[in-house]
């Protein structure tokens, strides 16, 4: 379930409470008149099944300008009223998409932050070391660490809602992030190559176990499509732990690391393959993710209706 905290102008408190009372799947409604100070107003609290959140938030959209809406996840609710509310709402909570929550999440993921750049750079360097050491374990670790799927999901959401500014921001985040990560990894690999002499072109030529990174094929695109579907489902449902599997499935980070190392040791013939692999993976995830969101928006039950008067 979700917990809603509303700050409502006193003149519209009855209207807000009526909306909550009429929505299926909402319970534990509490009204505390005049306790809110900034913004000033009445405090209205309630618990809602995930399936009911979209209907309530849609009807209370005006509170974004006139008051405030806060949403919290409830880990445990020991209440017959809460259990009955979940049962009344159609579908399963894990299948429900709270679109307002998703919008705020992808907007945050579309921004370039120091944390995003740091994680992406570290992941790319780990992938580069994995390539040089012929270590699939290091490469898998780098794939798990990579934060790039958030920006991919933002592109999908932006395409679905024709939010072109969001699409541009997310694409910029991806391009800037990978450019900086590759540049940092290239610099580190170049120092290792010259003047330290720790690595050379033979380190790439002998690494047969990681050659899949530079050989994109039909399976690369199919894996990217499946990862895009799984990734979107994991961030829109209650199964967010599945997102780790998505990171392990696609070779965006390993491809970036391979590009950086190949450039550093001067193996120009090996650059095109991982660049193509990177593009194929991102394109496949964007296509599949956008289609998945469209299906969820079009066919998932969103409006759950009003309570029966019986």
| pLDDT value at residue 300 | 72
91: three-class secondary structure by DSSP: coil
The CATH code of domain 2-94 reads 3.30.70.120
Confidence (pLDDT) at 31: 97
pLDDT beneath 70: ranges in the chain: 206-207, 238-242, 245, 301-310
Distance (Å, whole) CA 285 – CA 224: 5
Q: Which residues pair with 162 in a beta bridge?
A: none
> Helices in the chain by DSSP H: which ranges?
13-22, 50-59, 63-66, 80-88, 99-109, 114-132, 136-145, 149-160, 164-193, 202-205, 218-236, 243-249, 252-265, 272-299
Cα dihedral sign, 238-139-170-290? negative
DSSP 241-264: GGHHHHHHH--HHHHHHHHHHHHH
pLDDT at 307: 46
Stated pTM of the model: 0.87
pLDDT score of 291? 97
The residues that bridge with 45 in the sheet, in sequence order, are: 5, 30
The DSSP output letter for 70 is: E
pLDDT at residue 96, as a whole number: 83
- The helix (H) or strand (E) run that includes residue 48 is strand 40-48
């Amino acid at each position: 379930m979700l917990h809603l905290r509303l700050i409502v102008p006193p003149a519209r408190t009855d209207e807000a409470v009526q909306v909550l009372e009429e929505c299926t799947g909402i319970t534990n409604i509490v009204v505390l008149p005049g306790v809110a100070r900034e913004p000033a107003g009445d405090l209205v609290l309630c618990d809602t099944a995930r399936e009911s959140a979209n209907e309530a938030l849609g009807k209370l959209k005006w509170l974004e300008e006139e008051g405030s809406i806060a949403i919290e996840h409830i880990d445990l609710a020991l209440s017959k009223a809460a259990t009955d509310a979940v049962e009344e709402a159609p579908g399963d909570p894990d299948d429900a998409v709270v679109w307002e929550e998703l919008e705020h999440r992808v907007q945050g993921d579309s921004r370039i932050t120091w944390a995003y750049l740091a994680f992406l750079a570290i992941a790319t360097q780990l992938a580069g070391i994995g390539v040089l050491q012929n270590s699939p374990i290091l490469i898998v670790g780098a794939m798990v660490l990579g934060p790039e799927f958030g920006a991919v999901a933002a592109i999908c959401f932006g395409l679905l809602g024709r939010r072109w500014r969001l699409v541009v921001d997310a694409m910029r985040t991806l391009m800037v992030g990978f450019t900086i990560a590759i540049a940092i990894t290239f610099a580190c690999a170049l120092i290792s190559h010259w003047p330290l002499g720790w690595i050379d072109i033979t380190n790439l030529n002998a690494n047969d176990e990681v050659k899949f990174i530079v050989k994109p094929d039909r399976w690369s695109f199919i894996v990217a499509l499946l990862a895009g579907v799984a990734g979107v489902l994991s961030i829109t449902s209650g199964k967010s732990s599945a997102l780790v599997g998505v990171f392990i499935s696609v070779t965006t980070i390993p491809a970036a690391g391979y590009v950086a190392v190949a450039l550093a040791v001067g193996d120009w013939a090996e650059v095109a393959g991982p660049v193509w692999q990177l593009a194929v993976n991102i394109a496949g995830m964007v296509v599949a993710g956008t289609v998945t969101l469209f299906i969820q928006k079009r066919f998932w039950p969103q409006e759950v209706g009003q309570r029966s008067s019986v």
